[in-house]
Amino acid sequence: MRLFVGLGNPGEKYASNRHNIGFMALDRIAQDHGFSPWRAKFQGEVSEGKFGSTKVILLKPMTFMNKSGQSVGEAMRFYKLDSTDVTVFHDELDLAPGKCRVKAGGGHAGHNGLRSIHQHISPHYDRVRLGIGHPGHKDAVAGYVLRDFAKADQDWLDDLLRGISDGAEHLARDDGGKFMNAVALRVAPPRSSTSKPKPTPKPAAPSEQVADEAEDKSPLQRLMDKFR
C-alpha cells in the first residue's frame, strides 16, 4: 500500500494558488484513474484506488499547510505504514515552472508543509517536487505562493498534471525512473523534424532510362553498341 499526499490549503479561496499544486496533482490522479469519491477522514480528504495489485490512498490534509503533518501522521498510523510508504506532492520554489523531480528523504528547505510532516513522521519519505519558479526575492515568497497561477501558466500546468497522472502507476510501484519518463513525455514530448520530407523520386520514363544508361557507358561501349 502507498500513501500519496498532496499539499495545499483548504477552501475555494486557495484552490488555484501555486501553493496548492499538490492538491491539483492528486485531483488529477483520482479523476483519471477512477478512484473513489473524496471523503472526510484523518483531518483531511481521502480517495482510494488501485494500480494493479497496489492499493493507493490519496490524502489532501485540510489542516492548512503548516499543520499538514497531523493529518499525514494519523493516516500513516491507521494503515500501519512506514514513512517510506509515503510520497508527498508539493510546490517547489527552487525548480523552474513545469519542472518535476522525485526525491527520497532530505530536508524541508523552509517549506512549512514539509516541516510539519518532518515533525510528525520523520524526514524519511519520498517527495515529488513540482516547480513553480521563484519570485526573485525571499520577501516576495509568501505573496507569490498564495497567488493563483497566471493564465500564461495554464498550458505547462496542464501538461505537468497530465504527466503526473500518466506516471502515477509507476510511482506506486516505486519506479521513479518510469514516472519521470511519463512526465517528460507530456511536458517535453519528442519533437518531430520541422524539415520537409524529401519527395519520393518518380520512376523515370523509359526514354529517360535509356538516356541515363547511355550516359553511364564509356566511349568504347557506345562504339561497340553501334555494331550490335
Question: Which residues are the active-site residues?
Answer: 19
b/e map of 12-35 (b: 16 or more CB within 10 Å)? eebeebbbbbbbbbbbbbbeebeb
- Name which of 156, 180, 151 is nearest 168 in CA terms: 180
Distance (Å, rounded) from C-alpha 88 to C-alpha 117?
Answer: 9
Query: For residue 160, what are the β-bridge partners?
Result: none
Residue 40 DSSP code: E
Name residue, grid cell 498510523.
77
User: Can you spell out the DSSP letters for 124-168?
Assistant: -SEEEEEE----SSGGGHHHHHTSBPPGGGHHHHHHHHHHHHHHH
> Burial, 10: exposed, middle or buried (Cβ in 10 Å; 0-12, 13-18, 19+)?
middle
